[in-house]
């Protein structure tokens, strides 16, 4: 969390001075997602793989294409 605070201290003043509100929102969202995943990994919580979602999405298409 100290590293995240350091990243915020370095990046946010620059974004604020240039009035980049959308970029600041994206910065905070991505930083919080990364920080949350890091904390979950540290606590040995199960983190789903992005590949699982890709398999769920494309599995119906696989059967359809195989039937052609």
Report the predicted TM-score, pTM, of the whole model to 2 decimal places: 0.68
Q: Could you tell me the residue range of the domain that residue 25 belongs to?
A: 2-66
What's the pLDDT score for residue 15?
A: 92
How many domains would you assign to the chain?
A: 1
What's the pLDDT score for residue 51?
A: 93
Low-confidence ranges of the chain (pLDDT < 70): none
CA distance 66 to 62: 6
What's the pLDDT score for residue 13?
A: 93
What's the pLDDT score for residue 64?
A: 82
Q: Supply φ then ψ for residue 20, to 5 degrees.
A: -100, 80
What's the pLDDT score for residue 30?
A: 96
């Amino acid at each position: 969390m100290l590293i995240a605070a350091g990243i915020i201290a370095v990046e946010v003043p620059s974004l604020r001075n240039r009035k980049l509100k959308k970029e600041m929102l994206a910065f905070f969202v991505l930083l919080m997602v990364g920080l949350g995943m890091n904390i979950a990994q540290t606590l040995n919580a199960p983190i789903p793989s992005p590949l699982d979602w890709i398999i769920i999405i494309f599995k119906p298409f696989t059967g359809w294409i195989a039937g052609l």
